[in-house]
Amino acid sequence: MSEQKPLYLQPGSIGRLELPNRLVRGATSETMADDETGEVFDSFVDLYRSLAAGGAGLLLSGHMYVEVRGKASAMQTGIHHDGCVAGLRRATEAVHAEGGRIFAEIGHCGSQAMLPGARTVAPSTVANPMYAVEPEELSADAVEDLVAAFGAAARRAVEAGFDGIHIHGGNGYLISAFASPYSNTRSDDWGGDAHRRGRFFREVVKAVRAEAGEGFPVTARIGVEDSVPDGLRRGESLERSRELADLGVDGFETTFGIMRSYLQNIRRFVAVGGAQAVRNLVFQRLVQPPGEEAYYREFGRAVKQATGLPVLLVGGVRTTHTMTDLIRSGDADFMVLCRPFIREPDLPLKLAAGREGGVECVSCNMCLVHDGYDPLRCWRKSPVAVGSHLWRHYVRNRPGH
Ligand SMILES: Cc1cc2nc3c(=O)[nH]c(=O)nc-3n(C[C@H](O)[C@H](O)[C@H](O)COP(=O)(O)O)c2cc1C
Ligand code: SF4
């Protein structure tokens, strides 16, 4: 009977893991953990319980830092010490009790921390293009320690009951900084040419695979191109994706590497029509065209052709028409949606009930400016929510990003 279902509601698999549909909740930083310890609050468990109940085939957690200098924002989830495991286990148990599956996204922010005054580390002392802050250069020994930290984080993810591990290798964070000629100007074994720039990613994958064991699902977000001049180019990344596939990565999510702004990855007003803009009071949309859907499609297609592995396509996937087209064309296998799930955690159930067309999220990015300040939520859902956003963001007087 499943042939009669829309393609995005049909089963698929990543490695040995079978998923009941192709709808994936994209990694979304929660701001629901203790700022000192990184241990999660009950709200984190409740968030993932409700997402699992909403019917997504797979959930990706927000990025969790593997060591303390890898923390990107306040109240981010940690997976850098064993004390983090108990809370994460409660979350995976809640997901499993609802019949869901969840991967842990593990990462390190490198030079891209949103924490004022943070002393950041990176392959070289190149200033981060978003924050213009110069990081400290990692010694070769410190790089080895970081590879081990990724391995230890993977062990904790397995202990906490996650169904897979998603390695954050994009968006300007540490792995993508090693991969890029813009940010990696080293001349030792960790930089200097394309092969050595890829070494950190390869070693992280090996460490994760060694801890997780054969067959345990491991996927990676990969920065396919940088958006800065003299940055990483596609050919180099495609070769890298093949090498990572040989080391046991089971699927890729494609995105940018080094970026000038988060808005290049988290684009505004995707596929939002005039009437939807007015209903949602996003009048800025009326003076600019709607954002393009599925904006990493070309990256997804290229990585799929290079590796033959499942591609999880993130970035402005918004309508059932586009989802069907992406899967039918073979450009992507799984539809990863981030902001639409913030607004509608039960979106898959609604689609399974026959809803077609677009999503309620208008990609206004109010949720983004609260990352690291307030627990994750949609601030556009009602006039009261918008008022609360205005108060917290502007009157309470904090910088956004
Ligand atoms: C509030 C917020 C938090 C995010 N946190 C993460 C994160 O922890 N890890 C990650 O890989 N991407 C993160 N992203 C980026 C999304 O996963 C995704 O790449 C981006 O929002 C584009 O997809 P969308 O159009 O479906 O929202 C975040 C985005 C938003 C809006
Ligand atoms: S605040 Fe709500 S509508 Fe705006 S981008 Fe975030 S989830 Fe979508």
Distance from C-alpha of 30 to C-alpha of 104, rounded to nearest angstrom: 13
- Choose among 306, 290, 289: nearest CA to 244: 306
DSSP state of 182: T
CA of 334 to the centre of ligand 1 (A): 16
* Whole-model pTM over 0.95: yes
Q: How many CA atoms lie within 13 A of 46 on its CB side?
A: 8
Tokens coding 98: 């609802």
Mutate to test the pocket of ligand 1, among 73, 338, 376, 393 (most ligand atoms within 8 A of CB): 338
- Choose among 263, 242, 365: nearest CA to 305: 242
Beta pairing partners, 291: 270
> Which residues line the pocket of ligand 1, CB cutoff 6 A?
26-29, 62-63, 105, 168, 221, 265-266, 270, 314-317, 337-339, 367-368, 371
Quote the Cα angle for 224-229-231, to 5°: 40
Residue identifier of the C-alpha nearest atom 13 of ligand 1: 28
Q: Provide the residue-wise pLDDT of the chain in tens; the chain has 401 residues.
A: 445 899 999 999 999 999 999 999 999 999 999 999 999 999 999 999 999 999 999 999 999 999 999 999 999 999 999 999 999 999 999 999 999 999 999 999 999 999 988 999 999 999 999 999 999 999 999 999 999 999 999 999 999 999 999 999 999 999 999 999 999 999 999 999 999 999 999 999 999 999 999 999 999 999 999 999 999 999 999 999 999 999 999 999 999 999 999 999 999 999 999 999 999 999 999 999 999 999 999 999 999 999 999 999 999 999 999 999 999 999 999 999 999 999 999 999 999 999 999 999 999 999 999 999 999 999 999 889 999 999 998 887 555 44
3-state secondary structure of 174: helix
Whose atoms come closest to the Cα of 219: which ligand?
A: 1
Tokens coding 349: 């159930």
| Rounded alpha-carbon distances, angstroms, from residue 309 to 7, 179, 401 | 18, 21, 34
77-104 as b/e: b if 16+ CB within 10 A: bbbbeeebbebbbbbbebbeeeebbbbb
Domains and CATH numbers, the chain: 6-273+286-357 (3.20.20.70)
